[in-house]
Structure 1
Amino acid sequence: MTTTTRVRRTRADWQAVISRAERSALSTAAFCAAEGISTASFYLWRRRLRGIAPSVAEPGRPPPEFLDLGLLSRPAKTDTASWDLELDLGDGVVLRLRRG
């Protein structure tokens, strides 16, 4: 069993991480994996540091039309994993994604 240690980074730490990522030739996902950070945290802090509002809509403002969740990695040829994802978006709208 592998356990991970959470590292608390300051705003300056995140700025340094994001600067390194921008100079890196790696994709965001590969860079985050090499740094041991989640892509969700990376994107959250990049938005914060750029002054972009978080994805939660503020009262009186429409919600964002698009939220980048990154790429879903393709399975290796020997990987037979399948998955089903269902998101209830409200008002009777359901998004279903399936890989099998």
Structure 2
Amino acid sequence: MAASFGRDFWEEAFDRFERSGLTVAEFCEVEGCSVPTFYAWRKRIGAQGQPKFTELVVERAAESSSIEIELSGGERLRLTGVVDADNLQTVLRCLEQASC
């Protein structure tokens, strides 16, 4: 019976539960444990503050690039390197206001 298993079993069981899409009652029926035992172990493990780690995928920074904008008066604005979208939007708003 699952209730007699220790911490390692329950940590793995909680991972399986998260992936299962089942309700607690359905999961416990499949695993052969009682709902109260499930909750007791979840509380016990949670109270000990075991951190859970999630894998992070760090994307590589964009290669240097440039953006060139031709303004209505024929002037050109060239931005090089990595351009932050919010900063670009601010520059365009300022240019729009200055041309009015």
Instruction: Please give the TM-score of this superposition, normalised by the length of structure 1.
Output: 0.43
Higher normalized strand content (fraction of residues): 1
Instruction: Work out which of the two has the higher radius of gyration on C-alpha atoms and give 1 or 2.
Output: 2
Instruction: Please give the TM-score of this superposition, normalised by the length of structure 2.
Output: 0.43
Q: RCO higher in 1 or 2 (8 Å CA, sep ≥ 6)?
A: 2
